[in-house]
Structure 1
């Protein structure tokens, strides 16, 4: 799932001590948020073994939507008016929520069949795809070094997938499709960064709620009271993770905290092994290393360009 990354808040310069404390707090919140997302995904993988994907997504979306709705103000809704400084762009909003809803469905469906670490590794390439799409659709300048990193990241995905007749599965293809849709939703979010975060998040979960309701109606399994709590917990943990990641980005520049988001692969491997007994293959380890390395190169080049 995606969120609009908040721009760094303007304000008086912090004293060196406070600045260092804010940086550490931002990094800590980012790591905590990534861990919560990983835990949420692990819990979802455990639940989709007993309940349909549509039902799991429906309860998750409903819970998250109920949690985020109270934070939407009239001023937030006013930004959707066409006569405001930031145009509504309904087509772009529809594209964003459509891609976001479908990619979450792809992620959860892939979790039913392949290990958590495998799906997480494939999705790690999403931000790398954003770099290529930014050059093609946003008109941003991307130098040869970053294009090389993009190609290296795609090669890492191929290594992780092992695209041979015996290894490449339909489930892995669905995960790749989901990562591409995730990248499209990020690019759309980048164009809509004038829209308040609560509105973006609420519209995203509302679209997923409608999509999951259509499928959940045909395969609803009555959950036990304990599992009903766990289904709702998936949505609550996801919202808490969003709060942590967003607050971390408000306290610390994105170029500082972004590399720590790659810690998701560590949590995915650890939780996959502890909870499900999954041991990642050597191709997953090598592919993840290539993807993370390519992503870090892009981040460092972006930071250097920003400073220049």
Structure 2
């Protein structure tokens, strides 16, 4: 997911400098290759079940992320103090990925990405009960404006509304919850460690889904997202296996690029450029599928992006002095 989202996330990374131009370059490059992952998933969604893609992707990414943990913080950091919290965060991330991928099988990529960017709005709302943060009326207006953008895209009551269009919003909710947990865990554990445990969870959960759904017993008569969920396991040919393996490589190197972005630049200056993924999604959708976002998606996406950037601005205004003294910043990285 551009996640991704594509995307927004939270894990503590120490800031190594303040090179905004380099940070934005890392960020945009990471989001660009994550957009390719979304394209690959969408291309394969008519042939393979989602659990197969997630499981193989995780198996490919596992050794790469394991090596990156060694480079980033050392293998000893894999011994965490709160394993159950890591498990809960990882499972929420897994549900987020699954629902976003299911959406790709049924709706345009640009629509899915735009709706997924409600994650910052959901994070703002959930930060009150989960972190005890205070959210002023200006940020609440920003949240309300963003969800009005969701309504513009979904157009409730119109003939074009699909239930699958709600999946990216559910993905954003799971993602937001996982990232708020990540803010707590980030005080003791690195982003690479959290990514490692998330990836392992993907493998085990994908395998569990395959055991239950892998024979395709429930797939008869389904289509779109439901077919992608319930389809039987398929043995990939060489090209298909290469495409699936590529998603695992993208997951690793995309994560590294996004982490580096927040290491060399200030989070509040870099994060607004996460919305560049909408440009990549639109461009790649046109190249691979010949589709462009309709006027409702463009207007709604603009409203969601504007609200997210405004909320970020208000957070920076209210907490700038606190952020300077805290050391690690919260990174936002995609749900792919």
TM-score higher than 0.5:
yes
Deviations 1:64-94 (A, max 9, x none): 112111233343023x14xxxxxx2x44323
Q: Paired residue for 2:287?
A: 274
Contact residue 42 and residue 272 of structure 1 kept, 8 A: yes
**CA RMSD, aligned part only?**
1.7
Deviations 1:149-170 (A, max 9, x none): 0111111111111121523322
Deviations 1:136-183 (A, max 9, x none): 321111111111101111111111111215233221122221111111
Contact residue 9 and residue 175 of structure 2 kept, 8 A: no
Q: Paired residue for 2:191?
A: 197
**Does 1:77 pair with 2:78?**
yes
Give ranges in structure 1 of 5+ residues lacking alignment: 82-87
Paired with 2:150 and 2:170, the residues of 1 have a C-alpha distance of: 12
Corresponding pairs, count: 291
Contact residue 27 and residue 258 of structure 2 kept, 8 A: yes
Contact residue 13 and residue 259 of structure 2 kept, 8 A: no
Deviations 1:46-74 (A, max 9, x none): 12222221111111111111211123334
Deviation at 1:35, TM superposition (A): 0.8
Contact residue 5 and residue 249 of structure 1 kept, 8 A: no
Q: Paired residue for 2:243?
A: 230
Q: Give the TM-score taking structure 2 as reference length.
A: 0.82
Contact residue 121 and residue 265 of structure 1 kept, 8 A: yes
Q: Give the TM-score taking structure 1 as reference length.
A: 0.89
Give the alignment partner of residue 34 of structure 1, picking from 31, 34, 38.
31
Contact residue 63 and residue 232 of structure 1 kept, 8 A: yes
Contact residue 9 and residue 176 of structure 2 kept, 8 A: no
Give the alignment partner of residue 57 of structure 1, picking from 50, 54, 58.
54
Paired with 2:244 and 2:138, the residues of 1 have a C-alpha distance of: 44
Contact residue 100 and residue 181 of structure 1 kept, 8 A: yes
Contact residue 60 and residue 235 of structure 1 kept, 8 A: yes
Contact residue 96 and residue 171 of structure 2 kept, 8 A: yes
Paired with 2:25 and 2:101, the residues of 1 have a C-alpha distance of: 27
Give the alignment partner of residue 9 of structure 1, picking from 5, 15, 33.
15
